[in-house]
Structure 1
Amino acid sequence: MPHAPQPQPAHELDAAAVRTWSSLAVAALGRAREDIDAINVYPVADADTGTNLYLTAESADHALTAAFEVAARTAVPDVTDATGETSLAEAVRAYAHGALVGARGNSGTILAQLLRGVADVLGDEPAGRGPGRLLAQALTRAAESAYAAVAHPVEGTMLTVATAAARAGEAAGAAAGTAADVARAAYDGARSALAETPGQLAALGRAGVVDAGGCGLVAVLGALFQALSGQEPAAEPVRGRAVPVPQTPEPCASEDGPAYEVVYLLEASDEAVGELRPRLDRLGDSLVVVGGDGLWNVHVHVDDPGAAVEAGVAAGRPYRIRITHFGDERRRARGERTQRAVVALVPGEGLAGLCAEAGATAVLVRPGELPAVPELLDAIRRAHAREVVLLPGAAELRAAAAAAAERARADGVRVAVVPTRSAVQGLAALAVHDPDGSFDEDVVAMTAAAGATRYGELAVAERQSFTSAGICQAGDVLGLIDGDVAVIGAGLPETAEAVLERMLGSGGELVTLVLGPEVPDALAERLEAYVQHGHLAVDTVTYRGGRYSAPLLIGVE
């Protein structure tokens, strides 16, 4: 956690003020994140609102810092002035963009939209408006755009706090107040609104807490006031019990609510997103879609994560897809904190759902798009565990997994990387995972299970090339065993049988088949019969890999 910056001298409403605001906001959320997590009961009691807000602000701060570094190296017309200093417009746009691409959870997604609303006004800087009036209008735009981004706005939440802040800021701006005056009024208005949230939302009232997202927003507005005035706001205590336990939870926070949180970035047109919203709204709840100009951040709670991602595919290009199962987070929020978690990188939506059902945090890997270290580090953080076992799932992902593990260790998390080279090895490791045993013994058992699993894959050759099995032509079916081409065939069924025969030649007790999205069920039936006929003592299990998975993955244990 970064150390809180010292109170700064008063700033005008300029790029330097935005940078100071950003650093102070990260520090304030860093100090409050655990307390905010503890009062998180709505919309899901998953104890991560403070962490999500902190990580969103951290991402925004990194983007803003990068913009300043670029401006320091070169002066660009219409972006920086003659001295290479970042303009207000460039600063707020970078700040909002960083929040958008790094938004975490429901609260972080709303914070990203609030910052985008601020950027929409301050990034324009029309003549004839003083800084105070400009900031007041920016806060109003922020609240309005956040309400518009949430499918079903609820009072007593972060949205209510944002609206109260905007109204107070507008009153100060109308009275010809300075930017600092507007920020102070917005901060005070937000604090007053936050105190009223338990009386507006039943879940908060029963738990005896204020809204967690609103509490985080008060911290962000306090940082804005400090950046513009040079005065350090009084520490805002988090009201409520240390560990809230609602007597009668709201439906959306109960065990009957949607099982998964699905989040992804989406490249799509405004028209396509307009069609996406109602489709996702029918699938689940807590729908928030923020962004614009072709880039969006989509957040929704659903029971069918594959359908939520499929809707994104129909609208445009989804990426950085994160699927989280709520079971472990709900148990942790009730005080049943899990000591150890598993993070698995998987090449398919179906596999991601399968790993999530097993209690792992799944990171979906699309073909040709290797996840970056920050994305893996975020997955480790989202696991909210003192110990994490990381399953890279492919040889080319091990370097990024090792780098993310090293950074997580610096945060105090104990991380071990089990060197899985295929998704089927990851499934084998998950099958023997023992969260109640010692960390070292668990890692050894998972490593042994993965190592004892031979893995095969079927792919279609894109061009003529030399392989370890000979020359293949475009369109040939390639059967890979342990990463090397072992069979070149003309059809998927025949090649799969040849690969199975070779893999079972050295023995085996269980065959795992993972079918790609275009592979018919008939192939699985044929391969199961083939195994049963030639190897009576070998069992077979079949899964659907879903979109982005290979035509066929095979594991033999």
Structure 2
Amino acid sequence: MPQPLDAAAVRRWCRIALDTLGRDRAEIDAINVFPVPDADTGTNLYLTMESADRALTAAAQEPGTGTPGPGDAARTMAHGALIGARGNSGTILAQLLRGMAQELAAAPADDTGPEPLRRALRRAATSAYEAVSHPVEGTMLTVAAAAADAADRAPARHPADIAAAACAGARTALAATPGQLDALARAQVVDAGGSGLVTVLDALDAALSGRAPDTLPHHGLGRPAGHRHGTPGDPAAGHPGHEGCAGGGYEVIYLLDARDDAVPALRRTLDALGDSLVIVGGDGLWNVHVHTSRPGPAVEAGIEAGRPHRISITQLTAAAPGTAAPAADRAVVCVMPGDGLAALCTEAGATALTADPARPPATDDLAAAIDRAGSREIVLLPNDGALWHASAAAAEQARQRGVRVAVIPTRSPVQGLAALAVHAAERRFDEDVVAMTSAAGATRFGEVTVAERESWTTVGICQAGDVLGLIDGDVAVIGSATEDVAADLLTRMLSAGGELVTLVLGDDTPAALADRLERQVRRGHLGVDTVVYRGRQAAPLLIGVE
């Protein structure tokens, strides 16, 4: 059923958009032929939305003075996107969100109808066109304008009606983009940035309508088998004076603290230095993006305008595999929720990243861990299903630097331990990945934790403070005592057999619990071995059965 356009809906929209961009990221990357065929549009959009989601999460954890409205949440989301915007597409997305936020924040608090969203979509499209120095039709700008046009025409009684109309208009415009850009027509693909924007708008539709996000593909137009993306040097990939790569071989991005009146001169200077120029933001904080053969002067122009920071200079053509390869051959990177588990991984020769439950690792954290490992080949064990998309994005960044990366979809630390136990660097990379994946997949995982709030579960309603036993991520047991829930959980997990039980004790869990569970295994399951680790994670107990 339709949901109100409130702060919760904005947060829901951001989370759905992040999940669906993570799902679609590789497919959007694969059709990236314009403005530069560097196969990173989906990744850039995902990273931009990830920054927006982190800003909303941080704001929700801060003590507030009242209930935030949709405008407050939208401004937080837009600010997070602004400071984390990546690439041409991510920078434009940040401006689209900023335009929407400005209109939603200006709406009267008691206006819960469709008009604020209708105006927000129009403001988004207008502000995005204004931010791009030389707009090109057949891009995400065209898709944004079509979404606003459809929203303007739609009869609506609820914001969900506006979102649905905007999404439908965007899809129609996206399908027409190959007729507007020769590069897209030759590659038989739709515009990658526009495709990502359709994904974001579909997430808005899902957040307001209450339905599940659309899973229908909208990224390709029957491109030839084996076609990944355009060829660098394709004359259609860049056009002098607008959104191409005619300006040279570097992408320069930085945040800029500057007065608003300093930006027009900066825009003129950067426009003469390169192309794909997008400057978004306002109120003293700007995100600057340009493609140029002269990165030094591009940064110096920012210094003249204000204070540039978080400066990123990236060669537009990805390095050939092995051109900047580190010295070591292969490494394993593990994400673990406790320093005890991280120490186990380090002792086994892996690079460990200890995750803070209050701040899960983002793509940049995972990418930095891959860099620290210093190897030509990396096996990444996220050990948490919620980290899958961020792990995939970090892996893609590393691949563009010439590093070979495989992400094994481990959903629990005990699966990561099982995979690490069979790792053998002397094997061929693919063989090692298959062996580690098989070991992880053969490990059932359980967790004993405490409910934070009243919730519906697959086995009934739990109350705040109840002890929960989960198997493979689903609640299987609800009780009041950790010891009893753990014993019941272990019995259920061993009902289908097993050869090895791994018990990982939490930070405050007494060793007596492990003793009790070990006796339970010895009494009822002959031939099953048990190993115990002090993981020092927040959850009282993790269980693995191989």
Task: Report the TM range for the smaller structure's normalisation.
Answer: 0.5 to 0.7
Q: Please state how far the C-alpha of 1:129 moved relative to its aligned partner.
A: 4.8
SS in 2 for 1:300: strand
Residue type of the partner of 2:316? F
Farther-moved stretch of structure 1 (188-197 vs 119-128): 119-128
SS in 1 for 2:64: coil
Q: Tell me if 1:250 matches 2:236.
A: yes
Q: Give TM-score, length-normalised by structure 1.
A: 0.57
Contact 1:56 1:103 in 2 (8 A): yes
Distance, in Å, in 1 between the alignment partners of 2:402 and 2:29 is 27
Any stretches of 5+ residues in structure 1 without a counterpart?
A: 1-8, 332-336, 344-372, 391-406, 416-432, 442-557
Equivalent residue, structure 1, for 2:160: 180
Q: Distance in 2 between matches of 1:434 and 1:129?
A: 52
Q: CA deviation at 1:235?
A: 1.9
1:326 aligns with 2:316: yes
CA contact (8 A) 1:55 1:103 kept: yes
Q: Is the 1:341–1:389 Cα contact (8 Å) retained in structure 2? A: no
Q: Using the alignment, how far apart are the partners of 2:162 and 2:21 within structure 1?
A: 21
- One of 98, 106, 110 as aligned partner of 2:88: 106
The amino acid of 2:105's aligned partner reads G
TM-score if structure 2 supplies the norm length?
0.58
SS in 2 for 1:137: helix
Q: What's the counterpart of residue 192 of structure 2? A: 212
The answer for the alignment partner of 1:52 in structure 2 is 44
Q: Residues 218 and 341 (structure 1 numbering): CA distance in 2 closer, same or farther, change over 3 Å?
A: farther
2:7 is aligned with 1:15: yes
* Number of the residue aligned with 2:142: 160
Deviation at 1:381, TM superposition (A): 9.8
Instruction: After TM superposition, give the deviation of residue 342 of structure 1 in Å.
Output: 6.7
Offset from partner CA, 1:42-100 (integer Å, 9 cap, x none) = 00001000000001001000101111111xxx332xxx23xxxx322221110000000
Q: Quick check: 2:29–2:192 contact (8 Å CA) kept in 1?
A: yes
- The one of 128, 139, 145 equivalent to 2:127 is 145
Structure 1 match to 2:100: 118
Contact 1:342-1:389 at 8 Å conserved across structures: no
| Aligned counterpart for 1:290 among listed residues 277, 280, 289 | 280
Q: Larger deviation: 40-49 or 126-135?
A: 126-135
Q: Kindly indicate whether the alpha-carbon contact (under 8 Å) linking 1:219 and 1:236 is maintained by their aligned counterparts in 2.
A: no
User: CA offset at residue 377 of structure 1?
Assistant: 3.7
**Amino acid in the other structure paired with 2:198:** V
Q: Does 1:304 align with 2:294?
A: yes
Q: Would you say the 8 A contact 2:171–2:198 is kept in 1? A: yes
TM-superposed deviation, 1:435: 8.1
**SS of aligned partner of 2:34:** coil
1:273 maps onto 2:263 in alignment: yes
Work out which of the residue numbers 59, 75, 78 in structure 1 matches 2:64: 75
Measure, in 2, the Cα distance between the counterparts of 1:376 and 1:112. Answer: 18
Mapped partners of 1:304, 1:61: distance in 2: 33
Given the alignment of the two structures, is residue 64 of structure 1 paired with residue 50 of structure 2, yes or no? no
Q: Is the 8 A contact 2:41 2:89 kept in 1?
A: yes
Unaligned segments of structure 2, at least 5 residues: 328-360, 379-386, 405-424, 427-546
8 A Cα contact 2:251 2:291, kept in partner = yes
Mapped partners of 1:311, 1:414: distance in 2: 33
1:261 to 245, 248, 251: 251
Q: Distance in 1 between matches of 2:370 and 2:169?
A: 32
Name the residue aligned to 1:230: 210
Distance in 2 of aligned mates of 1:224 and 1:299:
26
Secondary structure, counterpart of 2:114 in structure 1: helix
Correspondent of 2:31 among 23, 39, 60: 39
Give the corresponding residue for 1:535. none
Are positions 1:239 and 2:223 aligned together? no
| In 1, Cα distance between equivalents of 2:366 and 2:139 | 25
Q: 2:77 matched to 1:91?
A: no
Q: What SS does structure 2 have at the residue aligned with 1:152?
A: coil
> Judging changes above 3 Å, is the alpha-carbon distance between structure 1 residues 234 and 381 closer, same or farther for their aligned structure 2 residues?
farther
Q: 1:326, CA displacement in angstroms?
A: 1.6
Q: Percentage identity across aligned positions?
A: 55
The amino acid that maps onto 2:64 is: A
- Cα distance in 2 for partners of 1:322, 1:375 equals 16
Q: For each residue in 1:376-412, what CA deviation from the matched residue of structure 2 results, as whole angstroms up to 9, or x when unmatched?
A: 64865999x995699xxxxxxxxxxxxxxxx99x937
Q: Is the contact made by 2:5 and 2:112 (CA closer than 8 Å) also made in structure 1? A: no
Distance 1:205 1:297, change over 3 A: same
Shift of 1:249: 3.5
Q: Residues 367 and 395 of structure 2 are in contact (CA less than 8 Å); yes or no, is this contact kept in structure 1?
A: no
What displacement does 1:177 show?
Answer: 3.1
Give the conservation status (yes or no) of the 8 Å contact 1:328–1:338.
no
Letter matched to residue 65 of structure 1: T
Deviations 1:208-248 (A, max 9, x none): 10000000000000000000001224323121435134694
Please give the alpha-carbon distance, in whole angstroms, between the structure 1 residues aligned to 2:28 and 2:402: 30
Where does 1:129-528 land on structure 2 (aligned, <5 Å)?
Answer: 129-172=111-154, 175-237=155-217, 238-240=219-221, 241=223, 242-245=227-230, 248-250=234-236, 252=238, 258-328=248-318, 377=365, 411=391
Instruction: State the Cα deviation string for residues 245-299 of structure 1 (Å, max 9, x = none).
Output: 4694325289865110000000001111111001000000000000000000000
Indicate conservation of the 8 Å contact 2:258/2:306, yes or no: yes
Q: How far apart, CA to CA, are the structure 1 residues paired with 2:402 and 2:136?
A: 40
Q: What is the distance in 1 between the residues matched to 2:170 and 2:211?
A: 18
| Deviation for aligned residue 1:36 | 0.4
Q: Give the CA deviation at 1:143.
A: 0.3
Conserved in 2, the CA contact under 8 Å of 1:116 and 1:142?
Answer: yes
Residues 209 and 244 in structure 1, CA contact (< 8 A), matched pair in contact too: no
CA distance in 1, matches of 2:18, 2:187: 27
* Cα distance change of structure 1 residues 206 and 168 upon mapping to structure 2, 3 Å threshold: same
Conserved? CA contact 2:245–2:275, under 8 Å: no
How far apart, CA to CA, are the structure 1 residues paired with 2:7 and 2:145? 25
SS of structure 2 residue aligned to 1:160: helix
Q: 1:29 aligns with which of 18, 21, 42?
A: 21
In the TM superposition, structure 1's runs of 4+ consecutive aligned residues that sit over 6 Å from their partners are 253-256, 412-415, 433-436
Distance of 1:286 and 1:164 partners within structure 2: 22
Give the length in aligned residue pairs: 350
* In structure 1, distance between residues paired with 2:326 and 2:198: 34
C-alpha distance in 2, partners of 1:136/1:221? 13
